[in-house]
Amino acid sequence: MEFKCVHCNINITNIDKSVSFYQKALGLKVERTKEASDGSFILTYLGDGISNFQIELTWLKDHPQPYELGENESHICFEVDDFDQAYQLHKEMGCICFENKAMGLYFINDPDDYWIEIIPKK
């Protein structure tokens, strides 16, 4: 039996703001979108153009309030080929929320406060 990692879901409160963030901060591109015929939800799948893995942004019409993220220990990790340039971009965007210089990594947070780990390419 083989399992393949396909996507990770993130529930969001503002589709335009979130898509814009993921495009600017991580260079992701919208690969497909699915909208409910009754307007109750929009699913937007973002990809990096390198791997087949996607982030699924889920917007729910009846959930305008912020999501409860608990202790916010869950995260998605991105590897970047130019760590210093990425760090500078994220610093300018004001989205760096935690740094661990000893481990050589940092985290950014998206508009809904999900954390994303950034590590240098090995």
pLDDT of residue 122: 86
Which band of pLDDT confidence, cut at 50, 70 and 90, is reported for residue 104? very high
| β-pair partners for 7 | 54
Domain range summary for the chain, segments of one domain joined by +: 7-62+74-120
Residue with tokens 């995260």: 75
pTM of the model as a whole: 0.92
Contacts of 20 (CB under 8 A, 6+ apart): none
pLDDT of residue 36: 98
The 10s digit of each residue's pLDDT in 19-73 is 999 999 999 999 999 999 999 999 999 999 999 999 999 999 999 899 998 877 7
Alpha helices in the chain (DSSP H): 15-26, 83-93
Interatomic CA distance for residues 21 and 29, integer angstroms: 11
- Residue predicted with more confidence, 1 or 89: 89
CATH architecture of 7-62+74-120: Roll (3.10)
